[in-house]
Structure 1
Amino acid sequence: MFPPIVMVWFAFFLLGYSAADSQAEVVVQGVVLDAETGETLPRANIEVMGQAWGTIGNDKGAFRLVVDALPVTLRATHIGYAPAELLVAKAGPLKFRLQPIPLEVEGQIIDGDDPAVRIMGEVIRRKRAWAPLAHRYRVEAHTRQVLYSNQYIAAIRESLAELYRDRDKGLREQLKAKKHTANVSASMQVFAAAKYLFNLYDDEIALHGQTFLGPTHPQALKHYSFQLVGHKDDHYFISIQPKTSALPGWTGALVVQDGEYALVEAQLWPNRRLHPAGFATENGLGYRLKQHFARFAHGAWLPVETEYEIEGRLGTTTGSERIRRLRGAPTPQARLLGWTWLRGYELDVPSIDYAFAIEQALLVEPHSPTWDKFLDKRRADHPLTRREAQAFADLQQGFKPLAEQAVSALYRLHERRIGEEVPAVIGEDPLAQKTLVNDELLRDVVAGATGVHLDTSLTFFGQHVVEIPSAARGKLTPELWVNRVDALHFGARWRGTNLLGQRTGLYFKGGYNTGHGRFFAGVGSKRIWGTDGRSFTGLYYQRGTAPRYPSSLYTLADNSYPFLLSLDDYFDFYWRTRWRAEAGYRFAQQRSVLTLAFNRERHSSLRKETDFSFCSVQSNSSYVYKHLCADRDLTYRDNPPISAGRMTSLELVLDLGGLDPKAWHRTRLAAEYSDEWMGSFARFARLDARLDWHVERARGRFWPAESNYRLQAGAGLGRVPIQRHGTLDAGLVIVAPFGAFKTLRNRPYTGRHYAGFFWEQRWRTGLFERLGLGWRAHRWGLGWALHGAAGRVWGLVEDPPTRLHHELGLSLTLLDYLNVEYTRRLDRQEGHWSLSAKKTF
């Protein structure tokens, strides 16, 4: 049973979401009709204007669509008919009446299939003949990207580049010139336009980890339903939609040239929202893709103009967005309109080999010509609209930096990836944009201190909740928590890189613990070296309370919540004074960091100082005390003593996959050695390893959409003091994030040797769609998962069970964020309910 006070809190939590939802989304439904005959038009496209989001009508012309709020403008399209728009101000049955456009359909011999099947079969057959000729080419690309925040233009950027494509080796891009509004930060000025590009003529099109079969894939006739809508001016007009919604597919329209049997135009929408890795979104991203093709040498058909629209709310989740709307401050709708014009194709030329002799996927020329000299000639062919030109002029003056706006994430969808190094723009310090100082120092410079870490994102019980704007980092921030030893811990800290330059990070902290009456303090500095900024050194001093066993999931601020509810501390504590000197190197290609450190520490025991809690300030006759505090032991456990004395050690740490805790694949290997000849009171060695692995799949809605794995193990040799024992985390009250035993509460397993394996397989909406709950699943952000864990510890100080802890459970995801879980412990035959936040990447 959950403590009553926890149940009260949870009830208000769900009530808040329900209230937010009741005011947020509206269901709009209607039918699409032929304006002349009054007959229904099956499978019409319904689009929300200003958003790359909509739906497809059914075979009877009816549609159902969930929108954020009213009013909205809807647009209905159907091949062979003129589009129609409706302003929807209130919910109610809608009727679109589309006027037919004269299209002639040639006489066809009907053999049971739509004539479009024969036409597309011929397109696929002819593609096999010319496709090998188009596997290697060079082309000039002019790209323009206009970023919207709601209905306002937030930024514009353009580039001119040469693209080199090899089927087996991928893409290379050489940036020739660029131009942008003044509010675009340096890290977003140089961008890989090729990362946003696609070729709808390809067999497979990959978008954010999902693979969509192209309309000309050899298996496209089995995967898609094609319907001939009409024929005009030697072109066939064909609609396309997947035969099943269980697999990724396209919905839209194709234009095929008669006689040539080749695509000349395609406008397609994915049949699902997409979830980019590393970006929190309310309900994924909507895409609209459009492309024109032309014939080149040897009969090859290649794209000459590409248009794409991407929309969504970024930097938020379904759950948090409902709360924002309840408060009347929703996250702005981000929309990116992009165009790429391609010209000057050269097939299989020697310069392609030269381009792939360079490892970088994006190469910036050291002396790029100015825009006026090189790129305005291209703009003359594709001028800015009046609205874009006015916005460009306005944004050159007073503006809010784009980096501080949530919509900027659409400019960062394809930032540098593994193996891709973007050389710095001339005149800028390459270390000033994304450096080891800003990535690693501002996260780990206070590794010797405990408590809430001011990261690039705020955390709650180990989960990243919201990104902190860069302008807010490096400020003076408070440090506050409570526990049974410190009582009230309060103070402040500052850290940043603007005192001694961008290559040096500094850290200061100080404050007071009311329980044992001691001041805590800390100071640290880290500097990076070399022109590439890969080497670094650091020196730190810390004195203060430290947890006896480490946790990768909880901070001391997290521990304050159960403490105030009289649910005991998660941690035990000791007093530590530490000097630490370190040196390291970051490997570029593997995104890995090797660190060698020397630690000089003094440890002493601390005793429990307080039994204060929420219940201790309630009157025994009060309603709150009688229902939430009575008949409970309100005394905290004692804080156990440690092995006291001076400790000196050497530490070697290898982080594979970088230092970002949200990385998809990350391995941390650590070794520590301490000996008496070094002046230490104990002789021991420790080995620790942790592997985190995240996999996303695109095999359909009835396969797991993503998998998470964590393996932790460690061993101690010699006389390992208890403050150096390893840990397997437990749940905290009712919160049990991934990486914790969900059937173990409030006290972790600790020991000299430990091993644990945690896993979860997560599905999205496929099961709910099979049950006829598809639209509700999308509206409420539903999903489900199987999870489990197994592990044990050896060399125990305390007396937890010595046998293997083994558990298996099921979780339901609500609002695309909150997991409600039931887990069964298999070695004890007992079950527990818990909550957690969905792990995001």
Structure 2
Amino acid sequence: MSHRDALSFFRLAAFATALVLVGPVPMAQGQDTTEKTLRGRVVDAETGEPLPQANLRIADAYQGTITNVDGRYTLELDSLPVTVVVRYVGYESTRRRITTETDPQQTFRLTPSTVEMEEVVVTGTGNPGETIMRRVIENKQEWWPELRSYSVEAYNRFTVASDTTIAAVAESQTTAFWDAGRGTREVVRSQRGTANLQNLTDSALPAASAVLNLYGDNVSVAGNRLVGVTHPDALDYYDFTLDTTRAIDGRQAFLIQVEPGNRLSSTFQGTVTVLDSTYALLEARLRPTTSLSTSRVLKGVDITFEQQFSNFGGPYWLPVDFRARRDLDVQVSALISFSDVSIRQVSRLSDYRINVPVPDSLYSDTTDQAVTVPDSLALAASSAGGELDSLRDTGPFVPYSETERAAYRRIDSTDTVQDAFDPGGLVGWLQDLGVGGEDDEADTDTTNGSDGQGSADDTFVSFEGGLPDLRFNRVEGGHVGLRLDVGIGPLEVTGRGGYNTGPSGPTRWSYGGGATAPVAENTELAFSYHYGIDPRYRARSRIAPVWARLSNSLWTLAGEPDYFDYFGNERLRLSVRQQVSTPDLDLTLQFRNERHFSVAKTTDYSVFARTITQPPNPSVEEGRLRSVAFKATLGDDGLLGVTPINRVQATVEHSFPDLAASDFDFTRIEAVANAHIETFLQRRFRPNTLSLRLDAGVSLGTPPLQRFGVAEASPLPYTPFGALRTLDDRPYQGEHHVAFFWEHNFRTVPFELIGWQALVDQDIGLIVHGGHGRTWIGDDAQQRLRRRGVFLRTTDGFHHELGLSVNGLLYDSLR
């Protein structure tokens, strides 16, 4: 991956991470069907200050809206006359009759409600706040099961900003349908965004699905499943305290302080307002507690939610709005960080219809789309300076703030979202020096498709090349190589070449290539050729082969023993791969034709001029190895030690002289099994986990040294899962091997318990781990090796280890 590609990838990853952290309409009936758009402000009657998120609603109907941060509103009236009711928690509600003669500009002035000082009488025993919330929970348990379905008109707007300016605005209006057993489906009525969201026309933006219901039993926040304040067991998770009581419209409203009962639980803190007699939530102002678990690239997360609720016929109380503020500090590693990401969300929900039939076509087996767009609807991004008074025919349903209105007029198609989040760290420093700057500009000119000619992805032949291959070891010396990938229709072709500074003769060069082509659905045929020097054994626990050889190169250059042994290999492989989706199964049948030969150590070089003698490179049994191999993989993909893996992989390789005159006669059977089990705090995005790994292999016949198995060692400061961490330079080797590894990741929980918040903020965690392994070499094989002067590291019985590791230091570079 080039510097330009890496930079674009990290920018997009940061932006994607931030965003992740995000029917018929009943009308008011009247004698006059004249439509009117009401606009204006809602303010405090005493101070004139705006009241943001005030709730405006048409009396005896379920149609309404909310004010923006400046107290401004827009309310479409489908018929006249109507009575508009304006409500804001902590204020007396007001009602106003609107007729055809009424001025369309209306300011509503609300008077603060009276705080009652006398003792509040709540039927029950114990803490009044707890008693009130118990009544809220009990009432909800009565009406919630009766809520089977509804439709609602939804509007949602996301505003994404850096620490200096708004980068993008995206908004949508949908008709949403909710079914208790089948979830939410939405039909887009209109949507738009700032002009730099050029892919908006290819997307369908949800509105209702982006709204969290803080009245729910469980609330999903950034991958965490938080306990709602009205969950049946909420009294076990929260401490509720009555703060104040206000007289609102002749009734009492209780302000309840919400605090977590346990610092480790996935919960909220904040306040809720409860209406007496009905014991229903009027408003919730909540934020996740510090126990919120997030991606490791988010070094700082500040999230707050606000939501109001209203009665929509019968006992049902549902959200009328949603306001969210998400401030994120994104830092991928010590090498790259980004400007702070700020996401503001405002949503409006109106025109509920309760327990009505929902369109079965949206839930059919032929579609799994949660958001659909009618064929007749054209979606487009706005151009800079465009008209802002309408979203399709009406709206915006919540007026823009002045900064949002200015952003719509300022941003054009050249103001990419990524450019608003300039990287810091080493990568940002390199960019400031101009490294990769021209490539970035060229990439923008040729791949954004703005000229109407399409992008490179649409061409029959595509290139992705120039990827360097750099490494160092005691046999090859320094290796400088290049890789080129070419796509020719469905055919994928790869070519590689490289130069080694150490050896002389033919092995000074390495080269090869391959091609992959689909031959049927989920079936592909692959061919590859390679000539060069290969490691004699793999390092499966090092995340990926490229990382294994790169990390070993750095360690060897520092003057430490080279981890691998090597042999020369000219190989030709032909394979057929079949993927099965259910179950998640991957099958590969491969024919191997390889010529193996010994290579010698060529260098003891160290960049620090340390006096060190690298061990000699053992010779191998030379000859032609022709074999048939079959590999079956059941389970999910992932990176060991990085992402969860639940997978079993088995490989069988068989070689015998009758198979195309092979010089070797053996059968090698290997199996690797991984399990990832969530243990404690399972509501978190990253709960405590137990990881298990079994790596075993057995050989039949007379396998050559280059087909021996290993129990891996940990020669680097980074001690990965899947290796014996007290084995510090070379692995155990043998004809047969078995290794079992386990680790329990407590993450930051121990430091949360003792109150070391500084370590928690840095995502420093604790891991308890163990490893157990052994290898075996038969007497005949041992004698053959000794005659050639080859001595391998083997075990005398089982190797056992148990340890405690600190995880997360230097962005996981130490573990």
Is TM (by shorter chain) over 0.5?
yes
For residues 168-207 of structure 1, the aligned pairs below 5 Å read 168-173=181-186, 178-184=191-197, 186=199, 189-190=203-204, 196-207=210-221
1:210 is the counterpart of 2:210: no
Say if 1:252 and 1:269, in contact at 8 Å, map to a contact too: yes
Give the drift of 1:757: 2.1
What's the CA shift for 1:603? 1.7
Q: Which residue of 2 aligns with 1:745?
A: 728
Unaligned runs of 5+ in 1: 1-78, 82-99, 325-329, 408-426, 439-472, 618-624, 820-834, 837-841
- SS of the residue corresponding to residue 134 of structure 2 reads helix
Residue 499 of structure 2: which of 509, 512, 515 is its match? 512
The residue aligned with 1:230 is 245
CA distance in 1, matches of 2:514, 2:410: 43
Counterpart of 1:676 (choices 654, 657, 664) is 657
Structure 1 window deviating more from structure 2 (261-270 vs 758-767): it is 758-767
The one-character-per-residue Cα deviations of 1:60-113 (angstroms, maximum 9, x if unpaired) are xxxxxxxxxxxxxxxxxxx989xxxxxxxxxxxxxxxxxx99523554237874
Q: Which residue pairs with 1:382 in the alignment?
A: 398
Post-superposition offset of 1:349: 4.3
Tell me the SS of whatever aligns to 1:557: helix
* Secondary structure of the structure 1 residue equivalent to 2:464: coil
Where does residue 464 of structure 2 map in the other structure?
Answer: 474
The change in CA–CA distance for 1:360 and 1:231 in structure 2 (over 3 A counts) is same
From 784, 788, 803, the equivalent of 1:809 is 803
The DSSP-based 3-state class of the residue aligned with 2:468 is: strand
Aligned to 1:118: 131
Q: Which of 520, 529, 532 lines up with 1:544 in the alignment? A: 532
Instruction: Tell me how far apart the structure 1 counterparts of residues 638 and 454 of structure 2 sit (CA, whole Å).
Output: 23
Q: Which amino acid aligns with 2:332?
A: T
Q: Distance in 2 between matches of 1:717 and 1:161?
A: 65
CA distance 1:588–1:428, shift in 2 (3 Å): farther
Q: Pick one of 645, 662, 684 that aligns with 1:665.
A: 645
Paired with 2:582 and 2:418, the residues of 1 have a C-alpha distance of: 29
**Aligned CA distance change for structure 1 residues 193 and 644 (closer, same or farther; 3 Å):** farther
366 and 218 in structure 1: CA distance in 2 versus 1, 3 angstrom threshold:
closer
Equivalent of residue 629 in structure 2, options 651, 654, 678? 651
The yes-or-no answer on 1:555 pairing with 2:548 is: yes
1:155-554 matches, cutoff 5 A: 155-173=168-186, 178-184=191-197, 186=199, 189-190=203-204, 196-226=210-240, 227-233=242-248, 234=251, 235-272=253-290, 274-276=292-294, 279-283=295-299, 285-314=301-330, 316-317=332-333, 320=334, 330-351=337-358, 354-358=361-365, 360=368, 362=370, 364-365=372-373, 367=375, 369-371=377-379, 376-377=392-393, 379-400=395-416, 402=418, 474-495=464-485, 497=487, 500=488, 503-517=490-504, 518-528=508-518, 534-552=522-540, 553=542
Identity of aligned residues (%): 30
Which stretches in structure 2 are left out of the alignment for 5+ residues? 1-88, 92-111, 382-389, 424-451, 783-791
1:378, 1:590 → 2: CA distance? 48
CA displacement 1:392-431 (0-9 Å, x = unmatched) = 4444321236499699xxxxxxxxxxxxxxxxxxx99999
Amino acid at match of 2:306: K
Which residue type is aligned with residue 121 of structure 2? I
Paired residues of 1:209 and 1:698 also in contact (CA < 8 A): no
1:565 is displaced (CA, Å) by 3.1
1:514-535 Cα distance to aligned partner (Å, 9 max, x none): 22232111222334577xx844
CA RMSD of aligned residues (A): 3.8
Q: 1:161 to 1:109 in 2, by over 3 A?
A: closer
Instruction: Tell me the secondary structure at the aligned position of residue 316 of structure 1.
Output: strand
Structure 2 matches for 1:551-590, cutoff 5 A?
A: 551-552=539-540, 553=542, 555-588=548-581
Q: How many angstroms does 1:589 deviate by?
A: 6.0
Q: Are the structure 2 counterparts of residues 677 and 189 from structure 1 closer, same or farther at C-alpha, using a change threshold of 3 Å? A: farther
Between stretches 256-265 and 570-579, larger displacement belongs to 256-265
Match of 2:618 among 640, 647, 671: 640
Q: Distance in 2 between matches of 1:307 and 1:203?
A: 19
Structure showing greater Rg: 2
Aligned length: 636
- Match for residue 121 of structure 2? 109
After superposition, the Cα gap between the structure-2 partners of 1:756 and 1:143, relative to the gap in structure 1 and judged at 3 Å, is: farther
Contact 1:137-1:352 at 8 Å conserved across structures: no
**In 1, distance between residues paired with 2:667 and 2:350?**
63
What do residues 288-321 of structure 1 show as CA deviations (whole Å, max 9, x unaligned)?
Answer: 222222222432112232222333233525xx2x
Q: How far has the Cα of 1:743 moved from its partner?
A: 0.7
Q: What is the Cα deviation at residue 240 of structure 1? A: 1.1
Relative to structure 1, the CA distance from residue 690 to residue 354 in structure 2 (aligned partners, 3 Å threshold; closer, same or farther) is farther
- Distance in 2, matches of 1:175 and 1:655, equals 41
Secondary structure in 1 matching 2:246: strand
Counterpart AA for 1:565: A
Write the distance in 1 (CA, Å) between the matches of 2:703 and 2:208.
54
| 1:9 alignment counterpart | none
Counterpart of 1:741, as a letter, is L
Q: CA separation in 2, counterparts of 1:178 and 1:168?
A: 28
* TM-score, normalised via structure 1 length: 0.68
CA contact (8 A) 1:690 1:711 kept: yes
Q: Distance in 1 between matches of 2:752 and 2:141?
A: 37
Q: Call closer, same or farther: CA 1:378–1:169 in 2, change over 3 Å.
A: same
